[in-house]
Structure 1
Amino acid sequence: MTQSPSAPLPQTPLLDQVHFPADLKKIDDRDLPQLARELRDEMIDAVSRTGGHLGAGLGVVELTIAIHKVFNTPDDRLIFDVGHQCYPHKILTGRRDRIRTLRQENGLSGFTRRAESEYDNFGAGHSSTSISAGLGMAVAAELDKSDRKVIAVIGDGAMSAGMAFEALNNAGALDARLIVILNDNDMSIAPPTGAMSAYLARLASGRTYMGIRDFGKKLTAYLGKTVDRAITRAVGHARGWATGGTLFEELGFYHIGPIDGHSFDHLLPILRNVRDNAKGPVLIHVVTQKGKGYGPAEEAADKYHGVNRFDVITGAQAKAKPNAPSYTSVFAEALVEEARHDEKIVGITAAMPSGTGLDKLANLFPERCFDVGIAEQHAVTFAAGLATEGYKPFCALYSTFLQRAYDQVVHDVALQKLPVRFPIDRAGFVGADGPTHAGSFDTAFLATLPGMVVMAAADEAELKHMVRTAAAYDEGPISFRYPRGEGVGVELPVRGDILEIGKGRIVKQGSKVALLSFGTRLAEALQAAEDLDSAGLSTTVADARFAKPLDTDLIRQLARHHEVLVVVEEGAAGGFAAQVLHFLAAQGLLDNGLKVRCLTMPDEWVEQAKPEAMLARAGLDHTGIVATVFTALDHKTVSFGTAG
C-alpha cells in the first residue's frame, strides 16, 4: 500500500525553524545531526507521495546543510550537477511548503531551475555541467572584483564525462577561485572515516598549509615557468602519495580529502577553512552513501534512484496495472533476439543500462555490451570505431541525451557513412521530468543529415520490425525512435520483419481526409478517423514509418486524392512535417487547393504534467486531430505549427 496523501507528516521541530539558509546560522553545530535526520524524514515523506529522485538527495543531506550554513547563499553561488540531489536544497531554500508538489503539474521542478528560485543559480537536468558553469561564475566574480564564492557539487558518475575534465583543465589553467566538491557515492565509506584522515584533511585545508603553497607559487614564478612547473608538480606528486590527489593536482587544483560526507565534524571545519583561505581552484573529495538514512534505499540504491510513489514503512513502490509491455522492454527483447542470430551485434549505453533495456543484453552477452559512463559523445564515436571493423553497434540513448553527441553523429558517423544503429528512447513528452528530458528534437536534427535513415515506431510490433531492420541495414547510419511508457497492446511477432527502407503503409483507406502519422500518434489518428467517418468525412490513415527517406509515392498519393492532409508527429517543428512540406512544395502539390495542417510539439518549453495532458494541449490527441480537420475545411491556407 502506498503512502496516503492524508498520512501524518513527520515531526520536525528543528527543521520547522529553518525557512531559508540564513536560519541555519542560528543553529548550533551540535544540533545539526538532528536537523539532518528531520530533513531526511521530510524528504522521504514528500517523495513517497509524489515520486521522484530519492537516493541521491538522501546522500547529500549533511553536505547540503553544511554548505548553506558555511557559505552565504545565494550571494555565494551554489551549483548542483544534474539536480537529482537538489531536494534537500529546495526544502532549505524557501520551498518546503511546496515540496509535496514535486514533479506535479504547476509544482516544483525535479531539478534546479533558475526561474523557480534565486537559490537555484544554474538549471541542470543533464549531467556534468556544474564545473563549466561554476567556472564562468567564478571568472565573472573576479571581473567584478567581488569576493563571492562559487561552489560546484558534482557526483563521481558525472565526473566521468569529458566536459567535466575540460572544465577542470580550464579552471586549473586560469587559477580561478572555484570550489569543486566531488560527491563520491560509489566508493566504500571506510577509507575516509578514520580520525587521521580527517585530521590530515583539516590540516591541508588550513591557513598555514595553503599559505605555504601560495607563497611557493609566488616564489617559483620568479624562477621562470619551467622551474615553476617542475616544483609545482613535485609538490603535487608528494601530496598525491598521501592524499590520492595527483590527478587533480596535475590539473591545477588543490585537492583535499577524501572525507566523510556524513560527518559535520569533518565537513564544517574544512568548508570554513576553504572559504576563508583558498585563493585558487580547490577540489574537496567527500564520500557519501546513496539512500543514506532509509533502509530500502541503502540496500538497493539503483532501484531508489528514481521512484514512483511508495510506502515509507515497507519501501514498496506503486506500480501501474500492466496493460501492455513497455517500449523499452520490447526493444530490449527484440535486440536480444537479433543478437542471438548475429554475433556481430553489440550494445552501447551511456550509464543507462536499465533505462535503455541494455541490461538484458548484458545479462546474456556481457562481452558484447558496453556501458561507457556518462559520456554520450564518446559512446557515439566508440560505436563508429566498432562499425569500421564490421560490428553492428546499437548505441542506445535517450533522445534528450543524444543531443549531447550531435557533432559526433554528424562528423564521425554520418559523414563517413558508418552503419551505427541509434535506438532513441524517451522520444516525445516524458511527463514529470519536464522539458529537460523531453525528446523533442531528434527527428529534426537527424533528418537533415545526408544518408541518415530515420524511423519511428507506431506501436510495439513496429518497434520489433525496426530493430530487425536496423540490424540488417549496413548502408549507413539508421535510427528509430519510441516513447517512454507502455505500448498500445498489439499482438507481437516472435521476431520482427525487415522493412523496405523508405516505405510507409496505408492502415485505413478513405477518400476525403488523410491523416499521415509518424510514430506513436497512429492510435490517436485511427481514433480520430472513426470520429471523422461518423461525421461524414471519409478518412485515410497512413503510417509513415520513415521521416528519411520519405515515402514520396505514399505522400503523392495522399496529396492527390484527398482534400485535407494532416501530418502528425510527437516532435518539434522542423522534423517529419517539414520534410513532407518541403516535398509537397517542390512537387507543386500545394498548387491545387490541398489543405495541409502539421501537428507538432509546440514551439515552447512544455512544463511537467501528465503525458496525456501535455499531448492534449499540443493538439496531438484524437480530439485535437479532429478539430484541426474541421478548421482546415473552413480555411484555404497552409498552416505550420500546432493545432488552432
Structure 2
Amino acid sequence: MYEVLSRIHGPEDVKSLDDEELVRLAADIRDALMNRISKAGGHFGPNFGVVEATIALHYVFDSPKDKFVFDVSHQSYPHKILTGRAEAYTNPERFRDVSGYTNPEESEHDFFNVGHTSTSIALASGLAEGRNLLGGHENIIALIGDGALSGGEALEALDYAGSEMKGNFIIVVNDNQQAIAEVHGGLYENLKLLRETDGQAENNLFRAMGLDYVYEAEGNDVLRLIDVFRKVKDIDHPIVVHINTVKGKGYGIAEKNKEAWHYTAPFDPNTGRPAISFGDTERYTDLTAAYLMDKAKKDGSFIVVTPAMPGAAGLTPQMREELGIQYRDVGIAEEQAVAMASGIAKNGGKPVVITAATFMQRAFDQISQDVCINNTPVTIVLNYASVMAMNDVTHLGIYAISAFSNIPNLVVLAPTSGREYRAMLSWAVDQKDHPVMILMPHGRVTDDERTVDGDYSDLNRFKVEQRGSKVAILALGDFYGIGKKVAEAYERRTGIQPTLINPRFASGIDAELLEGLKADHDRIVTLEDGIVDGGFGQKISAFYADSDMKVISYGMEKEFYDRYDSRRLLKDLGIDPEMIAETL
C-alpha cells in the first residue's frame, strides 16, 4: 500500500517521478485521503477532486519559494500529503497532527490559516505585490473553486488583478460545477459556456476583466495539467488557468451525490454509510426546515434566502425545488443575501436569511447599513452560533452575540427550547417593526414543561422561570440548561432557592427587572454561549456598575480557539454547574 507515496517526503520527491508513477501517486493519495476521512471525517469532495492538480503544481513549481494559496483551503489535504505530512493521513495515531485547512504553524509550504471562502485571489495578489516591492521573482499561484468565485472578495480581487497588477500571477480556477450545494449566479453560466466551447467563447468573464486565459478540459489528468502549468510558469503577467474537474473524483458515491459528500462524518468506504449514529432525535435544522416549508405553503409573501448554505436550514434539494420562487440561493455572497432581503421586506415580502454564524460576519456592514438603519423587518437565522458547534479556528460561531447584539435596531433573540425557537421564528417573520436575528440552538431539539410566549413585541423583557432570592442566574440561549443546573446545585448546597431567568433578548436589558432584583439579591451570574467581551454579561455588569450588586459573567474569552473539546474548554473556563455553585 502507498507504493509511490511512501517515497514522497516533500515536493522535491514528486519531481523525480515518471509518468506512470505520477498516475500511481494520485491513486495512493486518494487511498490516504480515504483512510483518514472515513475514520475521522473531513472535507471529502473538494480534496478528491484536486489530487491531480496538486501533484501537477508541486511537480512544476518550486514550493515554498513559489507560493500556493488555497481558497477556503479545505481542499489542501493532497498538498499537505505532498509536503511532509502524509503520516497524518496514513497513520491513525497521527490524525491530530494537522488541521483541516492550510496552517503556517504546520509547514513552511502553508502561507495562511484560512477556512472562509473567496479569499485566495486577494491574499495571493498581496503576496505578488509584496514580491514586486522587494524585487523577487517567484511564482504566485492562487487556487479557487467550490463556488467561491461568486464571493465579493474574489470578484474584487479579479477586478484588481486584471487591471492593476504587473508581473507573475497565476489564478487556477478549479471548475467542478459545485459549491457545497449547486452553484448559482451568472458567472457560472459563463464558466459553462467556456467549458462547452473548450475555452474559446468570445464571451469570457476573465478576459473582460483584463486577464490572460487558458483552458484545460481534463482537469483530473495529471500529465495534461503538468503541460499546462509548465506553459504558464514564470509568466510575466496575470493569467487564469481554468481547469474542468470532478468533485469527489475517484469515489463513485461522492461523484453522484456531490452535495452530501462535500464534508462527511466517518463512514464505511464500502457502502458510504455513516459509521456513527446520530439517532432519530429531531435536530434544530429539522425543526427549521419544517417551519419554513409550512410557512411557505400558507403565506405567498414568505421567502427563504441563503448564501449557498441550504444545509444550515436543513433544506434538502427536494425541499428547495418545492419552494420554487420562495427560495433564493444567491451563491456565496452574504452581502447580496442581506441587502436583497432588505429590499424584499421593503416591498412587502417576509424574508428569512439563513446561514452559519461564522459566515454572516462578512455581511456585518449590510446588516448595519442596509437593514438596521432602514429598520426593515428582515429575519436572520444563524446556525452554529455555539461553542458546541464547529470548533476549528476559522469557523467559530462564538462571536455572534458580541458582534451583532450591539447594532442599533437589531433585535437579537436567543431561544432556550424547540418551542421557544419556533415561537420566536413565527413572531419575527410576521411582525413589521424590527429586523430580528435569531441564534438557532445547537444540536438536538430540547423541550420542557415551561410555557413560551408567542409575542416578543415588548422588547427586552426577560422571563423569570424560577423566583428565588439572594442569587439571580441569567442564562442566555443554549446556556439556559447550564443555568438551571447551577440553580439546582446552589440550592442543594445552601438550601436557598435562587432566581433563574431566561433573558431571551441578547441585544438589550430588562432595566425594570434588574432594578427590582436589588431588593432581595446581592449576586448575579450571567451565562452566555459566546465571548464575554462585548457580550450579554457585560451589559448586565454595566447596569449594576454603580450599585453594590456583584456580577460574575461566564462565557468564552476573546480568543481564537482551535480544535478544542467543548466540554473540556467549558470546564477550563469554570463553566460547570458545581464549580459555579461553589464560587457563589
Q: Which residue of 1 aligns with 2:434?
A: 476
Q: Which residue of 2 aligns with 1:347?
A: 304
Q: Which residue of 1 aligns with 2:562?
A: 607
Q: Give me the whole-angstrom Cα distance separating, in 2, the residues matched to 1:335 and 1:150.
A: 45
Equivalent residue for 1:184, pick from 147, 153, 175: 175
Q: Give me the whole-angstrom Cα distance separating, in 2, the residues matched to 1:281 and 1:257.
A: 15
Would the alpha carbon gap of residues 241 and 69 (structure 1) be closer, same or farther in structure 2, given more than 3 Å must change? closer
Q: Which amino acid aligns with 2:111?
A: N
Q: Which amino acid aligns with 2:422?
A: K
Q: Which residue of 2 aligns with 1:427?
A: 385
| Deviations 1:491-541 (CA, angstroms, capped at 9, x unpaired) | 799x98333432221122221221101111111111121111110143221
Q: Which residue of 2 aligns with 1:526?
A: 484
Q: Give me the whole-angstrom Cα distance separating, in 1, the residues matched to 2:303 and 2:578.
A: 42
Equivalent residue for 1:540, pick from 473, 479, 499: 499
Give 3-state SS (helix, strand or coil) of 2:86's partner: helix
- Bigger shift: 554-563 or 85-94? 554-563
- CA offset at residue 106 of structure 1? 5.5
| Deviations 1:67-115 (CA, angstroms, capped at 9, x unpaired) | 0111111111101101121111111111122237999996421111222
| Deviations 1:314-344 (CA, angstroms, capped at 9, x unpaired) | 1111343426321222222223333344322
Equivalent residue for 1:462, pick from 420, 426, 433: 420
Q: Give me the whole-angstrom Cα distance separating, in 1, the residues matched to 2:15 and 2:163.
A: 35
| Deviations 1:192-228 (CA, angstroms, capped at 9, x unpaired) | xxxxxxxxxxxxxxxxxxxxxxxxxxxxxxxxxxxxx
CA contact (8 A) 1:254 1:282 kept: yes
| TM-score using structure 2 length | 0.91
| Deviations 1:337-364 (CA, angstroms, capped at 9, x unpaired) | 3334432211100111123224476344
Counterpart check, 1:94 vs 2:84: yes
Q: Give me the whole-angstrom Cα distance separating, in 2, the residues matched to 1:162 and 1:498.
A: 37
Q: Give me the whole-angstrom Cα distance separating, in 2, the residues matched to 1:241 and 1:436.
A: 35
Would the alpha carbon gap of residues 386 and 431 (structure 1) be closer, same or farther in structure 2, given more than 3 Å must change? closer
Q: How does 1:165-314 map to 2 (within 5 A)?
A: 165-176=155-166, 177-186=168-177, 242-243=200-201, 246-276=204-234, 278-314=235-271
Q: Which residue of 2 aligns with 1:398?
A: 356
Q: Which residue of 1 aligns with 2:324?
A: 366
Give 3-state SS (helix, strand or coil) of 2:15's partner: helix
- Bigger shift: 140-149 or 603-612? 603-612
Q: Which amino acid aligns with 1:254?
A: D
Give 3-state SS (helix, strand or coil) of 1:57's partner: helix
Unaligned runs of 5+ in 2: 179-196
Q: How does 1:147-162 map to 2 (within 5 A)?
A: 147-155=137-145, 157-162=147-152
Q: Which residue of 1 aligns with 2:535?
A: 575
Q: Which amino acid aligns with 1:608?
A: R
Would the alpha carbon gap of residues 105 and 503 (structure 1) be closer, same or farther in structure 2, given more than 3 Å must change? farther
Counterpart check, 1:322 vs 2:282: no
Q: Give me the whole-angstrom Cα distance separating, in 2, the residues matched to 1:35 and 1:429.
A: 39
Counterpart check, 1:485 vs 2:476: no
For these two proteins, the number of residue pairs brought into alignment is: 562
Counterpart check, 1:59 vs 2:46: no
Q: Give me the whole-angstrom Cα distance separating, in 1, the residues matched to 2:380 and 2:117.
A: 21
- CA offset at residue 125 of structure 1? 0.7
Q: Give me the whole-angstrom Cα distance separating, in 2, the residues matched to 1:143 and 1:321.
A: 53
| TM-score using structure 1 length | 0.83
- CA offset at residue 434 of structure 1? 1.1
Unaligned runs of 5+ in 1: 1-10, 188-238, 634-644
Q: Which residue of 1 aligns with 2:68?
A: 78
CA contact (8 A) 1:349 1:370 kept: yes
Would the alpha carbon gap of residues 70 and 559 (structure 1) be closer, same or farther in structure 2, given more than 3 Å must change? farther
Q: Give me the whole-angstrom Cα distance separating, in 1, the residues matched to 2:370 and 2:37.
A: 42
CA contact (8 A) 1:50 1:101 kept: no
Q: Give me the whole-angstrom Cα distance separating, in 2, the residues matched to 1:70 and 1:492.
A: 64
Counterpart check, 1:596 vs 2:554: no
CA contact (8 A) 2:267 2:276 kept: no
Q: Which residue of 1 aligns with 2:189?
A: none
- Bigger radius of gyration: 1
Would the alpha carbon gap of residues 372 and 148 (structure 1) be closer, same or farther in structure 2, given more than 3 Å must change? same
CA contact (8 A) 1:330 1:463 kept: no
CA contact (8 A) 1:103 1:110 kept: no
Q: Give me the whole-angstrom Cα distance separating, in 2, the residues matched to 1:103 and 1:372.
A: 41
Q: Which amino acid aligns with 2:259?
A: D
- CA offset at residue 552 of structure 1? 2.1
Q: Which amino acid aligns with 1:97?
A: E
- CA offset at residue 251 of structure 1? 1.0
Would the alpha carbon gap of residues 284 and 347 (structure 1) be closer, same or farther in structure 2, given more than 3 Å must change? same
- State, as a whole percentage, how many aligned pairs show the same letter: 34
- CA offset at residue 35 of structure 1? 0.5
CA contact (8 A) 2:46 2:146 kept: no
